[in-house]
Structures are given as structure tokens and as C-alpha cells.
Structure 1
Amino acid sequence: MLTSNSTTTESSSNRPTLGIIGCGNIGGRQAANFLAHGYEVYVYDINPDSMAELQPLGARITDSCAEVAISSQVIFTSLPTPADVMSAVMECEDNLCQGLQPGSVYVDITTNSVETVLKLHQTMQKLGVEMLDAPFNDCPVGAQSQKDMGLAVLAGGSKETFSKVQPLLQLMADRVLYCGEISSGTKCKLIHNAVNAIAVQAVSEGITLGLAQGIELQTIWDTLRLGSFAQNPGDIHGLPHYWFSRRCDDISQHPAFTVKLLHKDLRLALNMASDRNVKVPHLSLSAKDFEEAEQRGWSQYSTTKVCCLQEERAGVIAKANLPLVSDSTETPTPTEDWTNHKGRFSLYAVLILVLASNLFQFGLHWLFHFF
């Protein structure tokens, strides 16, 4: 069984046997990934061709979900919908539960529903099986994964179970985030996808508004991708500075960009949309929030102050001293990389100057002594 001190460099005899149910885009790539790292992997998919593609790589083909469970110590499901997961785990003929052994670990990397995850967890507890919900954040077109596998795994479950499976999860994506108790990973993934969808819709409003104004598509696209939005969508990287720290509540912090100024920009953008009879529902809702913020007397506060309206709606407060860069293992940005190189260059320059000065003094001393 996989222990908490397992590492990806352990001998193959000590590695857990893995099972993957669902060999599509994500499941198939992860099966190939685990095989490449020397793991024994049993696979099952309702499409025999998907399994056949993995067989030359060393995958063990099975006839059912139950057979995967019987043969494996850590079992992953990677399926399209919650209904597919329920069928594979509990409902279909020779389902996963019929073969699961006490002490094994079940990891669902499907973007599932919270209700389904909790139902599966209750079943696993009765069977003596540990469980994580760990939805996978794949790498869409336009984004790049450092490991060429995925961007992040968002894991929910007990910390003990997470520690056991963490070495495997670390092979799957650039980042592995422990989100909390069971179903927390699923909740985080659904929030991520919802925010992403809203942002894409907002971008679509901007692009169509630009086209309606007679601006070339390339130009409006360059405006968005080369501006601050592309560098910091939704000011997300700056949220710890003004929002989480509660600087947004303090007018003396002298924000560079105020509620009043951004509200003005939103009104001007709405005027453009109105001139061309372009419907921009997300922009309209945002403008209403900034209008309310001004009515509350927040005109001179940081634009982030508007987030307080949503806090009131949700009945929560986002308050914590979080660093602007939350992960010390983050890949340096070009600016950070240049700063590091510049620092090293400065150090080398000083050393060279010291060495040159010493050589010059030595040369003078030798000349005076010689003559």
C-alpha cells in the first residue's frame, strides 16, 4: 500500500499498482504518464479502442471496473459527468465497488457535482476505502503547462489520504493544491470554471463592442492581450494588497485607481455600447455595482472597494495577510528573471572591478620596484 513517505523515486517493487477508469483525453494521458514513470497501470474504458492505444505502452487491459479495483491499490476515475461516475463506481454491472479492497485509495479526478462526491465518500467509508476528490485543471489552447500534462490538481479529502497520494498527484500537473475536506476540490474547480466563463463572456462583450465601433479585430485583440488585463486578469494578483489586507477600507492608502475613475470609464464604455445598440449585460451589472459604491460614498477609495458589496451579499469577509506571490516555487516572470540576472551581473561587475584594481596596484608596485 502507498505510504505517506512514498516518493516518485521509490523502487518499482514498492510502488502502488494503479488503476484508471476512463481513458479519454485526461485519463488516457495520465495513464501514459504513470506508465512512463514506471508504474504498473490497469485500465478500463467502455471504448475498447481507447484501451488499445495504451496497451503498447504497457497498460494492463481489463474487462470491467471491478477488475480494475481488484488489481489496483490506487484507483482513478476520469469520466465526463457525475452520472458516468455513479454508473462506473456503484451502478453498472461489475462496478468499482464490487472489486474495491479495504485499505485502497479511490481518487476521482472528474469535474463532479458536490452531491455525487459526498455520496461516493459515504460509500467508500463503508467499504474501508480512502477517497479524494481531485478534479483536474487541464491546459487549454493558449496556455502552457511546464510538465506538458496539466495546470493544477485540486484535491479534497483528509490530509492523511492526501499525503499518501500526493507523490502521484505531483506527476499529473504543474501544481497540486490541497483544498480541504472532501468535496473541497470539486467546489474550487467549479468556482474556477464559473469565474473563467464569466471572464470569457466579459471579453466577448469587449471584442464585439470594439467591432461595432469599427475597430479591426486584430487591433482590439492586441489592446486586450498587451494591456494590464492580460498581465493580471481581474487584478487577481493584486487582490492581496488592496482587498485581503483591507487597505481598500482605508481611504488614506491613496489608491492609484479609484472607484470614481473606474465608474467613469464604465459609463463611457456603456455609452459606446448604447450608440451601437450593443447589449453588454456583464458590463451593465458591473457599472451598477460601481454606481452603488459611489452612492455609499466610496468614490475616492480603491476600485477593489467594490468587492465589499459582494462580501455583503455573501455574508463573508475576505481578510488575511497573504503574499502577493503565494507560491515560492512559482516560475519567475520575465521581469523577475531579469532582476535575478541583473543582481548576479552587478555582483560579478563588482568582483571584476576589485580584481582589476588589485592587478593595477600590483602592476604599479612592480614598476616602481623594478626601476
Structure 2
Amino acid sequence: MLSRNNISKTNSSLNSPKLGIIGCGNIGGRQTANFIAHGYSVYIYDINLDRMAELESLGAHVTHSCAELGTYSDVIFTSLPTPGDVVSAVLEGENNLSQGLRSGSIYIDITTNSLETIFRLHNAMEKLGVEMLDAPFNDCPEGAKSEGGMGLAVMASGSRKTFERVEPILKLMADHVLYCGEVGNGTQCKLIHNAVNAVAVQAVTEGITLGLAQGLPLQTIWDALRFGAFGQNAGDIHGLPHYWFSRRCDDLSEHPDFTVKLLHKDLRLALDIASQQNISVPQLSLTVKDYEEAVRKGFSDYATTKVRCLQEERARVVAKATEGDRF
């Protein structure tokens, strides 16, 4: 752990903004390493001390609390699992970020959050004299390709002026940086994206299990889907052999990056938006029910692909690769 004197001395030699990252899991940890590789001074806080030690070995500055991190950082990111985690880290928890933020700093939440939480955070930041963007991050799962090797897209929203100030930093995070307009729009775009993807995943699953139930070889169904227009882009098609056909989804020891409980949370947040606007979304509603069933069956900590097992049970088949398959 660094003393305040050592940190001040380190910062005084840097011309670039000092970055802070709260939450050093899959996304936050990789972005910490990424920013350090690009020459930024990065301050981190996570409840997992081992994870912080790993990043410290790469050059990250470890802090003792969210509040302490705020005192050292010009641009602060939160990358946390749930809206509740963000509220605790930023506003309500012991030594939370708001207690250490300096007026004029910039706060960016890259969590897939709820609209209600984003607006609450934004109001709190305004009172503190801190600019805020919500900029949820689209990761790069198996089957998708990132040109820069970090992620697919950042969907940022808030003040255009603030966005332009940090755009060079955001561009280091993913292949594409989308400015979505006023605060909350980025979060809505991410929730819509995840909802559409989840519904498409369910449709692909129904098609594959229907074909298997009719006696079609899995290889034939896979080829029919991937060589059509749908298979070129949509529905997580390119990741199916890695996550589903391999039965990787059945193994908790694989430590999935995106779990059933997290996507269940995202889908419920998207459904909340539709409900508030009195918009009927039957496919999303049905998909949410599938994720609720998956949670009841104890699938919460498995990869999101595990939800496909529900449809396998209904069709009384299992999509498992066999020797000789060419996926």
C-alpha cells in the first residue's frame, strides 16, 4: 500500500489525468492493466485484496477505501455487479466515494445499472460539483472479435463537453465509443442490447433443440444457422461451440465472467423500463421467465449459457459436440 507522500510524488511527475477504478473484476481489472500499459497512473479499490495485489504488481496504486481513491483521482470509474453495489460504493457505504471526490473531477459508471440509480448518482454528483457519465461497457465474449483486444463498445451518455474531455480515455477501452446523448441513454442502450441478445439466444436455442428433436445432426443445424444471414451477426451464434456444445456451461469450475444472476438482473431492469412506459415486450417477458426459472433451479452462478438447459429439458435432447464435429 502506498503512503500519501509516495502517491503525491508519483502524481507530480505525470501530465495525464490520474484514473481511479472501483471494482477490479473481469472488466475493471482488465481496464486497469490496459490504462497502465498506456502510461496512465491508476488507483484501485476492490474488496478482493488478492486481486488488488495482482494489479499492484502491474503498477496500480492500491487504496484503502473508495473515499481515499476519490482524493487521488481526476477521472473515476465504477465497474461493479449490481446497482446496489454502486450505491454502496459511491453514496452509502462506509468511506464511500462521495466522501473523497474533489470538485471538478469526473465520475464514470461503466456498470450495467438501473436508470433509477443512474439519475440518483447524477443528482448527487451535481451537488458535489462533479461531472458524471454513465458509460456501460460491452465486453468481448468467446465468438466475438475485438480489433483492439479489449472490448466491443462503450455506450456513453451525459454532458457532451464532459464526454469529449474523456473520449481519448474511453477510446482505449473498446473498438467503438458511442455517444448516446443525455445521461441515462447509455444505460438504456446497454439494457436494450442485452435484452435483444438474450431473446435472440433463446430463439437460437429453440431452433437447435427443435432440429435435434427431429433427428437432424447437430453439425447440420449449426452449419445451416451460421452460413445464413442470421448467423453472420446475431444471436451469439459464433460462441455456441465454446460455451454450449462443449458443455462448458455445466461446469462451475470454469469461473464464468457473465452469470445467470447478472443477466437476470439486466433483463429485469430492461423490463422495468418497458413497464414504466406501458410497452408490451412479450419475447423479453418470456425470456425473463426463463431466467427466473433458471435461478429457481440453482443456476444463478453458472454462465448465462446454462439457461439453454431449460429448453433442452423441454425438448428432451442435449446439444453436445461429438468427435468429428467441425465447429
Give me the TM-score of the superposition, normalised by structure 2: 0.68
Q: Residues 205 and 32 (structure 1 numbering): CA distance in 2 closer, same or farther, change over 3 Å?
A: same
Shift of 1:18: 0.5
Secondary structure at 1:164's aligned position in 2?
helix
Q: Does 1:15 align with 2:9?
A: no
- In the other structure, the counterpart of 1:89 is 90
Identity %: 71
Q: Specify the code of the residue in structure 1 equivalent to 2:58.
A: L
Secondary structure at 1:14's aligned position in 2?
coil
- In the other structure, the counterpart of 1:31 is 32
Distance 1:231 1:45 in 2: 38
Number of paired residues?
226
Match runs of 1:18-97 below 5 Å? 18-97=19-98
Match runs of 1:279-298 below 5 Å? none
Shift of 1:232: 5.0
Q: Does 1:152 align with 2:118?
A: no
Q: Does 1:205 align with 2:240?
A: no
Distance 2:148 2:100 in 1: 33
Secondary structure at 1:154's aligned position in 2?
strand
Distance 2:229 2:153 in 1: 24
Q: Deviations over 1:185-211 (max 9, x none)?
A: 000000000000010001011001101
Q: Deviations over 1:167-221 (max 9, x none)?
A: 0000000000000100110000000000000100010110011011100111101
Distance 2:44 2:19 in 1: 9
- In the other structure, the counterpart of 1:124 is 125
Q: Deviations over 1:277-296 (max 9, x none)?
A: xxxx96xx9xxxxxxxxxxx
Secondary structure at 2:71's aligned position in 1?
helix
Q: Does 1:110 align with 2:118?
A: no
Give me the TM-score of the superposition, normalised by structure 1: 0.60
Q: Specify the code of the residue in structure 1 equivalent to 2:205.
A: S
Q: CA RMSD in A?
A: 1.4
- Higher Rg of the two aligned structures: 1
Secondary structure at 2:14's aligned position in 1?
helix
Distance 1:228 1:183 in 2: 32
Distance 2:188 2:144 in 1: 23
Distance 1:156 1:45 in 2: 25
Secondary structure at 2:108's aligned position in 1?
strand
- In the other structure, the counterpart of 1:217 is 218
Secondary structure at 2:21's aligned position in 1?
strand
Secondary structure at 1:13's aligned position in 2?
coil
Greater RCO, 1 or 2 (C-alpha within 8 Å, sep 6+): 2
Can you give the 5+ residue segments of structure 2 that lack an aligned partner in the other structure?
Answer: 1-12, 236-281, 287-327
- In the other structure, the counterpart of 1:170 is 171
Can you give the 5+ residue segments of structure 1 that lack an aligned partner in the other structure?
Answer: 1-11, 235-280, 286-371
Shift of 1:144: 1.1
